[in-house]
Amino acid sequence: MAIPDPVFNRIPVTLKEEHDRFFYEAHPDRIRVYAQTDLMHLVHLAKGAVHTFDRCNPISDTWHGDWNTWQGPGADTATVIAARQWQLDRLSDVKQRIAQAIVHKRDYYENTTLGKIVKFVLKCLCMWNNGNTAAITKAEDFLLYWDSRVPVYKQDGKYTSRYFWPLVPVSWVQEKLNTGNFYNYTPNRTIEIKGMLYGQRIINGNFQALPPGFVRV
């Protein structure tokens, strides 16, 4: 089933343009070109697109309760859940496109003449980092920030766990969301996480095992 389109009448035109630009550049027919030429810019546009989802939710537009307390006159449980499911599905779509862009960027380094030259230069400058270039790492960091298993953000060069559900603050909504098809990305490098694991889920009374490549330090 197709994800309903956003409703843009509540955001500035500049934000809509950023949203539209991301989905234009990340279209399957164009993403290879944009990923290979400027992956960092694509990630920048992805961040802007994600930030519009709360204010452009076409389902929440039909409900007028208090979104801070999740209560209000005529509060409809099904509508609240559907609205947040829309955001989750839309976010998953963005993440899949960025993951595909990473694949194209790696292919660029290995299978194009210009990419091989760039790879050689990066190696000479000690910036190759086993293929995890600055652009690829930035794209992966965006995906890891929105990971529903163990979401992390980078601070002072180190990864710290964070809460995944900033837009879904109550458990009764979280528990009813379908996360079975939500896209999560596992990088080919070790992610060392410092501090508590705020996003780690408890299943049958036990903490969910960390995904491959994630290590708590």
Secondary structure of 74-101 in HEC code, one letter for each residue: CCCHHHHHHHHHHHHHHHHHHHHHHHHH
Structure confidence by residue, pLDDT tens digits, 35-72: 999 999 999 999 999 988 888 888 865 555 554 555 54
pLDDT at residue number 72: 42
Structure confidence by residue, pLDDT tens digits, 119-138: 999 999 999 999 999 999 99
Structure confidence by residue, pLDDT tens digits, 3-32: 778 888 888 898 899 999 999 999 999 999
pLDDT at residue number 74: 45
Helix%, strand%, coil% for the chain, nearest 5? 50, 10, 40
pLDDT at residue number 73: 40
On whether the CB atoms of residues 138 and 43 are closer than 8 A, the answer is: yes
104-113, 152-161, 165-174, range with the lowest pLDDT: 165-174
Which pTM value belongs to this model? Answer: 0.87
